A and B are shown apart, each in its own frame.
Chain A
Amino acid sequence: MQENKRLLMRLHPITTFCYMMAVLGIAMFCVNPVMQGCSLICACIFLRMLSERIVWRRVPAFVLFFAVIAAINPLFYHNGATVLFYLNGNRITLEAVRYGICTACMFGGVFLWCRSLSQIFSSDRILCLLGAVSPKASLVCSMTLRFLPMYARQMEKTKEQQRLLGLYRENTLIDRIRGSMKVFAAVTTWALEHSMHTADSMQARGYGVCRRTQYRRWRFGRMDAALCSWLLLLFIAIVIEINRGSVSMRFYPVTDAIPLGAESLLVYLCYAAVCFTLPAALCVLRFRRMMRERE
């Protein structure tokens, strides 16, 4: 919903970035059905919180995508001890099917995460993050984002205009290519001309006079600090546990049982906590707002 999106937009880009890295990073490198399932379910919830309504039209496509990915592994990978049946003389094994479903969960989850995160990651937030690494690159990207739509518009207009003048409307392929080349060259000249003015505008406003600062639009508030340290803590804990192998599973030749020891349960819990950080933060923010309104 718009309201939720706006609330999340108040967070510092770094916080959202940390969240994204933690959720996706762990989901992508840890093949464990519990964690994949957790990621998938949370991705669905998060997406629902951000979008206006459920677009049912898209659901079959998503299910198909899920099914195809799940099917690919057993179709091409024939290891595993338990043979289910033979297809064209190839073994289809239970282990491969299990692994396929697990990967499908992973891909599905990542896909849904990207959908929802792209809604809160606007271009200026990405540039803000990039600016922290390289201010110059960030400025160049920003200028490119300003320039490209303008270039495309000029291109479109010039094409229309030349067609109206009766030029380059022949139907042969070579003529059309020649026409496009001509228009492309002309618009490129225009772009160079334009960039001179941009350069003037930059100089007029003191570009290159002294060391640039970077305007940071977002404040790194208490909420951000709390969320970031929370995420970092959980992330480190999970990575250590994964390294120790407490949630790792072997799928071939025989699939291990899903690890359900105390440590493994702790890792699942931690990952669920990571996944639900932003949805929970959102609930807190909304609740606070509600309380304020009530006063």
Chain B
Amino acid sequence: MELYRVEHLTFAYPACGLSDMQRGDGGREITVLQDCSFQVEEGSFVMLCGGTGSGKTTLLNLLKKELQPVGRLTGIIRYRDRFLADYAYGETAAEVGFVMQNPDEQPVTDKVWHELAFGLENMGVPSEEIRRRVAEISAYFGIDDWYEKAVEELSGGQKQLLNLAAVMVMRPRVLLLDEPTAQLDPIAAQNFMNMIVRLNRELGMTILLAEHRLEETLAVSDRVLVLQGGKLLHDGTPQQIARAIGQKERIYMALPCSARLCRALLDGGEEKPVQKTDVCTVAEKKTDRDTIPLTITQGRQWLWARYGDIGRDDAEQGGYPDTSKTLSAEKEAHASGTGDRTQEHRRAKPILECKQVWFHYKKACDILCGVQFRMNEGEIVSLLGSNGSGKTTFLHVIAGILHASGGKVRVGAERVGYLPQNIETLFVADTVEEELRLVGAEPSERLASYRQVHPYDLSGGEKQILAWEKVLAGKPQLLLLDEPTKGLDAAARRDVGIRLRALADEGVSVLMVTHDIELAAAVSDRCGLLFRGELLALGRTREFFHGNRFYTTAAARISQNLFADVLTAEELTARCRMLDGKESDRGIPREAEDM
């Protein structure tokens, strides 16, 4: 059955308080969605992807009567064969469930059990029935253990699960989720996604999920809608989408590593013009190409089928699991590029030295246990680790927010910049201009059109830019970053990487703690793992990731046991291209070998 039918949906917000630059043609409103048409079948898992500011949130809000924003709407939205506009207010409140992006914003009440009951109370369900349904949902979600707790005590992942449960308890027919995992750490995010998949598979729940990270989610969905700049660019199965997205499109970066690798090798360097894809047009093209791998496993199979025999000796020569040999492979790899810089740092003077740093809060157990750490000027160091491993605490101790309860921290830099996880804590002024003037800077070109805008009214990406400008205004010599890519889409994450490299070239030292393995692998000179307050396995990036089997980049996992020294998707692509080149030199055609 068709649950939603959207035809030629166009939506525009009234513009007020924004500068002229931002306005559309009329100068009165900002068009967010343009001529979107799609259907959602009951029981399907539809993913809505697109970069920040592509109109995902607006589209989702429009699909829920109670959350429809104020603005000019043209086109048709039908829900279960009736116009959405014809439904009475609140009629679909229980039927259409909505989960917001920020896990902190959705809870209304102070206790977990009360939060679960809140929606049912609103619907006027009698107390005995509420008791039953709440019990049922807590059992299904496994939240009995923290049923009595205050919402404030929960971790981000638990909060988001609670938000989902609080919506599910109202027995919706469809779930709308607005980037629900963007603010979570990878394990919590995976946990949450598993729950969504489970709801879809076990209960036949219709899911409409807005997401900008496709690495783990693309393969589980039935259908993908790609939004860009308010236009629905593609609509098809994950396979079709993986094939159809052009390499120049913003969303291309978000595709899973396997898919990007496959695309890069199949398409070669050529660029296809960006075009609107429909299900039928993609289907025609399907015949002349292989299936594109979407998951790590598929990627591995694809890669083995292609390079299985050549690659293996390569891996054996490189001695992948053997660390001593990896070192030699690494030396080779570092003959040019980042390796040189690491050598330089050996001679450079230290900008940060931590000797046996211990930390604990009053009467609580130790959070940092004798961290030994030294960092040189112009180095980029990433610290990875799970939640509660003391990452943020370590940064706080270095920044001087907290005082080490034992050991010595010596900071060689006069000016230290600190970018917090929650960037809104940076903003205290009423406009962007004032905000930067506080630290003696002027808005750059990218923010020029937002001079008079309140920082909270900026979009996620623009907030990030403002935060960076405010922190960098002090010309820090040592920059401490706490999860710099949290909630950012793939393109913005790449921008962060580029920015960090540029800073390092200027001689700024960067110490960041992050869950973003891909970023750490791409930009850092050294990486370390914080585990229960101890700093383990601190070493050069390549060494570090080659020592890990689970905690490593997607490209490394795909090429495990095949290529020895591959870390990023780009390296993997280059490696494959090189092999392809070798073969053609030898004059063995690919097809012949396969036979």
- Give chain A's interface residues, CB within 8 Å of chain B: 123-124, 127, 139, 142-143, 145-146, 149-150, 154, 157-158, 160-167, 182-183, 185-186, 189-190, 193-194, 197-198, 200-217
Contacts and interface: CB of A to CB of B under 8 A. Distances in A.
A210 B109 contact: no
A262 B225 CA distance: 86
A281 B312 CA distance: 74
Interface in B10-69: 64, 66-67
B170 A205 contact: yes
B98 A204 contact: yes
Nearest to A139: B109
Interface in B108-160: 108-111, 113-114, 117-127, 130-131, 134, 150-152
B117 A210 contact: no
Contacts of B120: 213, 215
B66 A204 contact: yes
Contacts of B123: 206, 209-210
B94 A154 contact: no
A143 B118 CA distance: 11
Contacts of B327: none
A146 B121 contact: no
B104 interface: yes
A186 B125 CA distance: 40
Given A164-B401, A167-B439, A215-B127, A205 B111 contact: no
Nearest to B435: A186
B292 interface: no
B503 interface: no
B110 A123 contact: yes
Given A123-B110, A204-B93, A189 B104 contact: no
Contacts of B113: 124, 217
B105 interface: yes
Nearest to A166: B474
B67 A185 contact: no
A155 B107 CA distance: 19
Contacts of B127: 213-216
Interface stretch (B180-188, B297-305, B424-432, B576-584): B424-432
12 contacts: A124-B110, A146-B110, A167-B428, A185-B428, A193-B456, A194-B104, A198-B106, A202-B108, A205-B118, A206-B123, A215-B117, A215-B120
B510 to A, nearest CB: 16
Contacts of A198: 105-106, 108
Top 5 A-B residue pairs of the complex, sorted by shortest distance between their CB atoms: A209-B90, A206-B93, A215-B117, A145-B110, A197-B105
Nearest to A128: B114
A190 B426 CA distance: 11
Contact of A183 (B64, B130, B428): B428
B122 A212 contact: yes
Residue from A143, A165, A185 with most neighbouring chain B CB atoms (10 Å): A165
Interface of B: 64, 66-67, 89-90, 93-94, 98, 100, 102, 104-111, 113-114, 117-127, 130-131, 134, 150-152, 166-167, 170, 399-401, 416, 418, 420, 422, 424-429, 438-439, 454, 456, 470-471, 474
A201 B456 contact: no
A161 B167 contact: no
Nearest to A198: B108
A142 B109 contact: yes
Given A182-B428, A209-B122, 16 more contacts: A143-B109, A160-B401, A162-B428, A165-B439, A166-B474, A167-B438, A194-B104, A197-B106, A201-B100, A203-B67, A203-B93, A205-B170, A206-B93, A210-B122, A215-B120, A217-B131
A294 B102 CA distance: 50
A172 to B, nearest CB: 18
B440 to A, nearest CB: 10
Given A158-B428, A201-B108, A204-B93, A165 B121 contact: no
A158 B425 contact: yes
B467 to A, nearest CB: 10
A214 B121 contact: yes
Contacts of A165: 426, 439, 470-471, 474
B121 A212 contact: yes
Nearest to B107: A146
B90 A200 contact: no
B422 A157 contact: yes
A205 B109 contact: no
User: Which of A146, A150, A216 has the largest number of chain B CB atoms within 10 A?
Assistant: A146
A205 B122 CA distance: 7
A182 B108 CA distance: 27
Nearest to A162: B428
